[in-house]
Amino acid sequence: MGRPVVGTARCSDYTPTQVGNALETALAPLGGMKAFVAPGQTVFVKVNLLMKAGPDRAVTTHPELARAVVKAAFAAGASSVALGDSPGGRSTPGSAKALFQTSGMAAVCAQEGVRLVLLDDDVVRVPVEGRQLYASFDLGREAVAADVLISLPKLKTHGFMMFTGGVKNLFGCIPGLEKAQFHLKVPDRDDFAEMLLDLMSACHPALTVMDAVVGMEGEGPAGGTPRRVGALLASSDPVALDVVASSIAGFDPMDVYTNRAAMRRGIGPAKADDVEVSGVPWREFLVGDFAHPTRDVSSKLPPALAKWVRKRVSSRPMLAQPAGCTSCRTCADNCPVGAIRMEDGRPRFDYDGCIRCYCCQELCPAQVIGLQTPWIVSAAVRARGGKA
Ligand code: SF4
Ligand code: SF4
């Protein structure tokens, strides 16, 4: 078998013409959109709509990439295109509508004649082929019932997996609060990565196009800082795409849990140079000082010690900016183990019960939950030459 192919293109901003041209360039080595969408087929476009945030915050897939992909799918002959996601946390019809509007997806879908779908309500059980942990998943029906699934992740850091891209974006095919339950059922990071690979094989995305025009560095996937990368990446192989994208973001790809799990399974490359990058060489996009999440210091420790550390001394959530807390209860309502109770309008954390999934930090609309790393772990990482 030959090396997996990732198409790359420069894209310095989100003007529609630029995004459209970059998409065409990135898809060219893969055979163009026609290689994925045949006339008469139905298409579902899975964007990242983690939470209510405008496109400038770089939390969600940019709507202009969604527009370009929808146009290309119709041009290839798609009979219908739907677009959607299941956001993090609990959604109501009102909150979903607000999220769709704020993200810019509602406007794009209205203009392009596309149905906008919340993947929470209509669920179907889908079997996993060649599974490691899971035999099947309950998934949003629309995402898997379409003839072609196209996934549009955003290049971002991720506190739990270190990096979120093509593999992690599929987690949004799991409806609503069921996602939080997975953090409860699969608290170990390596196991969680294995679960995501099972999910990938259930979802079968035909094509992944990454929005790496502006990514998110630091405390992603929601509380980080937008960072310009200037790229679009496309591949039929979400793992190969993630290995290249995480390298562009300055990671050793094997520090990313999903990449490492894929390599262990023999379905993923260990480094970007094992991928055929067609177009702009990946090093030309490299952002060497891309800020990484600080919380998973255990990834820099030897594996046996890392497991022990993860269980006992992983960074813990805390209310970092009490004055900014709006008492909205989102953190308490979405903690999968009920380790947060509200007291005087502020969250109080039960660290014995907390499984360090960081859902609270990820979903806090005010971004006032931070993470505290035990000093002894920071010192151990520094001693090994890592960033604490
Ligand atoms: S989610 Fe954030 S703003 Fe809302 S109660 Fe929790 S800490 Fe406060
Ligand atoms: S307190 Fe936060 S990090 Fe801990 S289990 Fe609950 S949601 Fe996860």
Three-state DSSP string of the chain: CCCCEEEEEECCCCCHHHHHHHHHHHHHHHCCHHHCCCCCCEEEEEECCCCCCCHHHCCCCCHHHHHHHHHHHHHCCCCEEEEEECCCCCCCHHHHHHHHHHCCHHHHHHHHCCEEEECCCCEEEEECCCCCCCCEEEEEHHHHHCCEEEEECEEEEECCCEEECCCHHHHHHCCCCHHHHHHHHCCCHHHHHHHHHHHHHHHCCCEEEEEEEEEEECCCCCCCEEEEEEEEEEECCHHHHHHHHHHHCCCCHHHCHHHHHHHHHCCCCCCHHHCEEECCCHHHHCCCCCCCCCCCHHHHCCHHHHHHHHHHHCCEEEECCHHHCCCCCHHHHHCCCCCEEEECCEEEECCCCCCCCCHHHHHCCCCCEEEECCHHHHHHHHHCCCCC
Neighbours of 18 (CB within 10 A): 18
Tokens of residue 204, six digits: 């079968």
pTM, entire model: 0.90
Question: Which residues surround ligand 2 with Cβ inside 6 Å?
Answer: 317, 335, 337, 339-340, 349, 354-360
Dihedral sign computed on CA atoms, order 101, 105, 110, 115: negative
Pocket test for ligand 2, best of 184, 186, 349 (most atoms within 8 A of CB): 349
Show the low-confidence residues of the chain (pLDDT under 70): 1, 294-313, 376-377, 380-381, 383-388
Ligand nearest to the CA of 359: 2
Task: Domains for the chain: give ranges and CATH numbers.
Answer: 5-285 (3.40.50.11440), 297-383 (3.30.70.20)
- pLDDT at 130 (0 to 100): 81
- pLDDT at 388 (0 to 100): 43
Distance between Cα 312 and ligand 2 center (Å): 14
- pLDDT at 42 (0 to 100): 98
Distance between Cα 372 and ligand 2 center (Å): 13
> How far, in Å, CA of 62 to CA of 45, rounded?
13
- pLDDT at 1 (0 to 100): 66
Q: Ligand 1, atom 4: nearest CA belongs to which residue?
A: 328
- pLDDT at 188 (0 to 100): 86
Chain segment 21-77, per-residue pLDDT in tens: 999 999 999 999 999 999 999 999 999 999 999 999 999 999 999 999 999 999 999
Distance between Cα 142 and ligand 1 center (Å): 32
Chain segment 152-190, per-residue pLDDT in tens: 999 999 989 999 999 999 999 999 889 988 988 898 889
Distance between Cα 353 and ligand 2 center (Å): 8
Residue 366 Rama label (left phi>0; alpha psi -120 to 50; beta) = alpha
- pLDDT at 311 (0 to 100): 57
